Amino acid sequence: MPRVLAAAILLGTIGQAVKAEAPVSAATVPAPVFTLDQALAAAGSSAPGLDAAAADLRAAQAGRNVAGLRPNPEVQVQVENVGGTGEFRGTQSAETTTGFALPIELGGKRSARIAVADAQTWRAEVEAAVVAADLRLQVTQAYIAAIAAERRVEIAQMEADFAGVGFRAASARVTAGAASPIEQQRADVLRINADVALDRARREAETARANLGRLIGQPVVGLLDRNWFERVDSYGPSAPIKAEGTLTLAAAEADLATASAQVRLARSQRVPDVTLSAGAKRLSASNDTAAVFGVSIPLPLFNGGKAALDQATAQESASDARRRVALIDTEREIASAQAELANAAASARAAGGPGLAAAFEAARIAGIGYANGKFSQLDLIEAQRTLAQTRSAYVDALFVYHNAEARLARLVAPAPDRGTAQ
C-alpha cells in the first residue's frame, strides 16, 4: 500500500509540472496580463530621462534662433570740450555728437553660426532618440528578467515538490523495510535544500518585478505575458545588417557634423567685421550742427583666428576618427547580436521541444519505478535533476533569446530624420 500511495503522489507531482509548462489560456488567467507594450507605454509617460532629453532639444532649437540673430545696433552719445579751462570752462564750448553704430558681420559668420546650431539641434534630436531607445531596451530587459525569474520560481517549486514527495516515498519505503534509513536522510537533505532554493527564487522574482515597477513608475499588477516569452521566431543565417542609418552610428555622425560646422565658424571668425556709424554733432558755441560718419575695422595683429581654426580642425579630425571607430564597433556588435539571437533561438527550440518532453517522461518513469522498488533513489534523483535542468535551460535560452532580440533591435534602430535640423 505505501508503494501505491507513493507512486500516486509522484505521478501527481509530474502532472503538475507538465501543466505548469503548458501555456496558460486566457480563460484560466485570474488577472489581466501585463504585457511588454503596456510596460513600455507606462515608462514613456513617466521617465525623467525623456523629459531631460526633450528639454535639451528645446534648448537646442532656441539656440538655433539665437544663432540667426544679427548684432544689435548701438546708440552713441559723446560730449566734448566740457569741464576744461579758459574758454572750455563749463559747457559753453561743448560739442555733442549723437549717432548710431551698426556692426556688419563679414565672412559668413551668421550662416556659420546657424550651421553649428543646426548640427547641435540634430545632435539633440539624436540624443533624444537614443534616450528613448535606451529606455525601451532597459524596460524590455527588466520585463524579460522579471518573467524569467517567475519561471525559475516554477522550476524551484517543482524541485521542492519532487523533494517533498521523494522524502515521503523514501519514508514509506523505510517503514515498509524496503530501503535503508540512509535513503530517508538523503531525501530529507534534498527537501531542505530545495525549500531554501525556492525561497531564494521567490525573493529574486519579487525583486525583479519591483525593479520593473520602479523603471516604469508604477507597480506591476497581474501576470506577465508568458506566451510572448515562449514565442521564438524563425532563426537561421541572416544577411549582415549595415550600420549606416542606425541610431547607434547617428550620434557619432552628428558629432562630426557639429565639428565640421565649428571649422566653418572658426574660418569665418578670421574675417574682421566692420562697424558703420552715423550721427550729428552740435556745437554749443554757434548752435550749428554737422553730420558725422565713421567706419571701424579691427586690426588682427595679435589674434588672427588661426589658433582657433587649428583647434577646430583637429577636433573635426578626431570626430571623424571616432565615427569610423563607431562604424566598425556597431557592425561588429550587430553581427554578434545576430549570431547570439540565432544560437539562442536554436537552444530554446531544442530545450523546449523533444528534450523537455523526454526529460518529463524520464522523471515520470523514474518516479513509478522508485515507488515500486524498480529503480534506486539515485536514479530518481538524477531523473528529477535532469528535468529541472532541462526546464532551467529552456528558460535560460528564452532569456538569452529575448535579450539578444532586444539588443539587436536597439542596435539597428533607425536614426531620426535630419530634415528638421536643416
Domain boundaries, the chain: 2-70+105-270+305-421, 71-104+271-304
pLDDT confidence bin for 7, thresholds 50/70/90: very low
Q: Residue 176: what pLDDT? A: 76
pLDDT confidence bin for 203, thresholds 50/70/90: very high
Is 142 a residue whose pLDDT tops 50?
A: yes
Is 331 a residue whose pLDDT tops 70?
A: yes
Computed over every residue of the chain, the mean pLDDT equals 83
**Percent of the residues in the chain that have a pLDDT greater than 70, as a whole number:** 87
Choice among 269-273, 375-379, 402-406 with the minimum mean pLDDT: 375-379
Q: Residue 4: what pLDDT? A: 39
Q: Residue 89: what pLDDT? A: 74
Architecture of the CATH domain 71-104+271-304: Single Sheet (2.20)
**Contact 238/327 with Cβ under 8 angstroms?**
no
pLDDT confidence bin for 9, thresholds 50/70/90: very low
Q: Residue 239: what pLDDT? A: 65
Is 225 a residue whose pLDDT tops 90?
A: yes
pLDDT confidence bin for 25, thresholds 50/70/90: very low
pLDDT tens digits, one per residue of 165-196: 778 877 876 787 766 788 788 878 888 988 99
Q: Do domains 2-70+105-270+305-421 and 71-104+271-304 have the same CATH topology?
A: no
Specify the higher pLDDT residue, 10 or 208. Answer: 208
Is 371 a residue whose pLDDT tops 80?
A: no
What CATH number does the domain located at 2-70+105-270+305-421 have?
1.20.1600.10
Is 15 a residue whose pLDDT tops 80?
A: no
Is 113 a residue whose pLDDT tops 60?
A: yes
pTM, 2 dp? 0.78
